[in-house]
Amino acid sequence: MPRSCTACNKTQPRFSREYSGKVLSITHRREKQDMKIGCVKEIKNNEFRVGLTPDNVKSYVAAGHHVYIEMGAGIGSGFADEEYVAAGASLLEDPREIWQLVDMMVKVKEPLPEEYPLFRDGLILYTYLHLAADREQMDALLAGKVKAVAYETLTETDGSLPLLAPMSQIAGRLAVQEGAKYLEKTYGGRGVLLAGVPGTPKANVVVLGGGTVGTNACKIAVGMGANVTVLDISLKRLEQLDDMFGSRVQTLVSNDANVERAVLDADLVIGAVLIPGGSTPKLFKKAYLTEMKPGAVFVDVAIDQGGCGETSRVTMHDDPIFVEDGIVHYCVGNMPGAVARTSTIALTNATLRYGMQIANKGLEAAIAESDVIASGINCYDGKVCCKNLADSFDDIEYVDVKTLV
């Protein structure tokens, strides 16, 4: 039987499906496709998230767009190819074909060097980028004249970071979970249980930064029964945390003296510092290591922006820790990838709204109409359009994207 198309309000033929065991495809005939949207499988080490869910595909297709998905892209998050087909996507086997076909590529993590040759003039890239810690990627985006829209810098009118928030929530909660694990003696930790038991001391957890990551880290650490201290430069934010947690959390102004005292007494330190689009300040000093408790753990959630520890370096899920001067460092750059199903749903719940604005209006019109969309533009036509990003490099000039569209 024919079926109705909600995008064009006309009766359309049934979807046609072909499945040979290798290629799964779908054709939905429309008089007009406004934008071609693409999503490929993430190739970063142990990254199982995906940029679009089948429900996202339905939304784009209903608005008149065409969506291309790489075969197997959603499997790591629990979404089968058949679900994307049922949602109206076209599945392709070769990711290079998708990169070349689409107007906008929707991802989760930044492209890796093997994907740089696929950059091209005018391509919209909608994903996490974290360019302040990745000059090579930034230079490739500029050279390719890619229109790079970064999740982590898109800022709402109230100052919130709606596309960073869901992953920050997950990373903050995971930081305590992972820190508690690596405090175990078998991993080189102190052999301390966060909550202790009657007659033994609780672990001391120090959270550097009281934003979304820090707040969620506090929630889990308090829930696990630890002694928790949180530091932030904003007195207003400390007041909010005091109202939220009361006597269960010690709040301190973040300065060198307070950070040092707190860290030296800590069993677990969580780095939760953020400058949107910019390099992270190094609050966790190398000099602290030899004075800290042997086997203490440092979880640097800020590592994807360069890290807030002087001794931090990026690690991967398959080799997540290293020990320096007796302190266990956990510096995984894509922490939420460990809980891919939860992370994908949480992320795409947030990204769809702004992705639809870009697809429906076109990027240039969306920028002209919305300061929120404009705030997400990191690179455009070979120029850097994020001030915090430009300020992270001595030789990069900031250009307001609204002067370019």
Catalytic residue among 65, 81, 304, 329: 304
DSSP-derived secondary structure for 152-166: GG---TTS--TTTHH
Q: Is the dihedral of CA 236, 242, 244, 245 positive or negative?
A: positive
Instruction: Read off the tokens for 348.
Output: 């795409």
Would you mind telling me the total number of residues written for the chain in this entry? 405
Nearest to 167 by CA among 372, 378, 354, 337: 337
329 classed as catalytic: no
Contact 144, 121 (CB under 8 A): yes
Catalytic residue among 81, 130, 300, 329: 130
DSSP-derived secondary structure for 177-226: HHHHHHTSGGGTS----TT--TTSPPPEEEEE--SHHHHHHHHHHHHTT-
d(C-alpha 376, C-alpha 13), whole Å? 39
Mapped onto helix, strand or coil, the DSSP state of residue 140 is: helix
Instruction: Read off the tokens for 79.
Output: 């979404």
Contact 305, 275 (CB under 8 A): yes
Nearest to 73 by CA among 120, 56, 317: 56
Contact 78, 98 (CB under 8 A): no
Mapped onto helix, strand or coil, the DSSP state of residue 87 is: helix
304 classed as catalytic: yes
Contact 162, 186 (CB under 8 A): no
Q: Is 213 exposed, middle or buried (0-12, 13-18, 19+ CB in 10 A)?
A: buried
Contact 143, 113 (CB under 8 A): no
Phi first, then psi: give them for residue 129, nearest 5 degrees: -125, -45
Phi first, then psi: give them for residue 123, nearest 5 degrees: -65, 135
Annotated catalytic residues are 130, 304
